[in-house]
Structure 1
Amino acid sequence: MNEMSETKRVAIVTGAESGIGRGIAHRLAKDGFTVVVNDVNIDKAKEVEQEILQTSGTHMAMAVQGDVSKREDVFSLVEQTVKAFGCVDVYVSNAGIAQVNPIFDITPEELEKIFSINVFGTVYGLQAAGEQMKKQGGGKIINAASIAAHKGASLLSAYSATKFAIRGLTQSAAQEFAPYGITVNAYCPGIVGTDMWDYLDEKLAPYMKVDKGGAFKAFVDGIALGRSETPEDVASFVSYLASSDSDYMTGQSVIIDGGMTYS
């Protein structure tokens, strides 16, 4: 890590207005990071910023609006962070969306949307954060994958394809970035109780012939530890990836799902 980051660690979390992203932002703030909260919804991002400032005792927090599917927004996010705080030690590419559709029904518009956010957004994060971290002499990039990056899911083919892509990007970037002291890893959550799973439950229910809540319950029933995952469960692992304890780890996409997918 660069000399500045030894006294002031700075983390960017994309898609941080709710759910897993919000949980990660709060956890990194608790760990002592100055946290930049990024989202397309600036009002919600500012709410998270204020929550952090009021509860964590962290150095600072800042909300920045931006759409990860737009390359200029991602580079601007990094530039604004450096201008405000001097460095970027950790970049968490958390922003992402899901879609439910049989393969026969996927439209070009849907495919373009999910890839532009999930995959293009991850590439732009690698480029923007990677360039800054090269200048600093190191850093950590953490990508959001999924258990769907290890086993493709029925009716979630486009989503699964994007997450497999992120797993591949994580492996490739880890090799390219290692000479610059940059590690690249990914977290692979399972069934997390968030707004995304509310959406998935609603869309999957007709195909599974269950009532509202039934799809979520069916998946949770398959978890060895007997409960759904929380954003805090994911954030605890991201905390490890953002810490010096993971300095010798790179190129990995690690499953954290309570015991569903074994790879």
Structure 2
Amino acid sequence: MNPKLTSICDICITRNLNPEDYANDAVATFAQSLLYTFVGAKKQDQSGFIVKNKKDRKKYEAFLQDYDGNEIARQQIKRSDLNLAVIKSEDGKLNYVPNQGVTFEQNLKEMDLEINFQLNEVDFIDRERIRAKYKYRCQYCGRRGRSVDHKDPVSLSHNNSLDNLTLACAECNRIKSDMPYKLFIQLNDQISEINKKLVKYEDALGTLREEFEHRRRYLAAQVHLKGVINDPELNAIRKQNKSLQDAIDSLQSDYDDLRQTRKTYFDTGWRLARIKENKDII
């Protein structure tokens, strides 16, 4: 029997939606290349999205990727239970949307999903020792970092020895997740120039934000001394501050684009590695 690929995900199938009502060009192309049957509509209908906000869709996507890449989570939370929690969130029955600015553990908690991460039992002294050893610098990208990371994922190795610990920034720690250390290093070594750019972006943004904060305090002091709000000199300072803020926003946007591209690179590399190991991918 010819394998089938559907246009919708398992969450939508849990909702009892019909794949033939939805299009998915990427899956259709993938099915065609593998000579599989594609079940779905031919024309994409943007109004068919359950989550209308594109940014929110990205948040759910990142949350599901965090789950797929976390062995501890997959061991303790059934995919069916995860799907039901996501559906409750999408439908507004749970007043929370996954947030990429917090940890995966915090997102799970807010989604009413219980998990025990206590396999990671590195005490405070050892964590500070690792931070001091690496001078608060991520050993993967070179940016500032405080996250003590297990080289071999603790969910698989249960190894909390100092030899298995290194320092990472929160972003690299989240991207690596349960990816094998050898594979992550292999992928990371191929983008050393991108990592150097990330460090430059971080340093430049830090310097600009420090300057902006200095100017903001100077403006507040001048307003206090002059006793007025509208003044040619003060307005000139405000104009300079606005230009500086625009420069910061533009640089931050470029920085975020590069970070997202890097994350996609690692996600794709990890996904391809797992597909290569799994002969039966359907």
Task: Name the TM-score, length of structure 1 as normaliser.
Answer: 0.29
Higher helix share: 2
Larger RCO of the pair (alpha carbons < 8 Å, separation 6+): 1
The answer to which structure has the higher strand fraction is 1
Which has more radius of gyration? 2
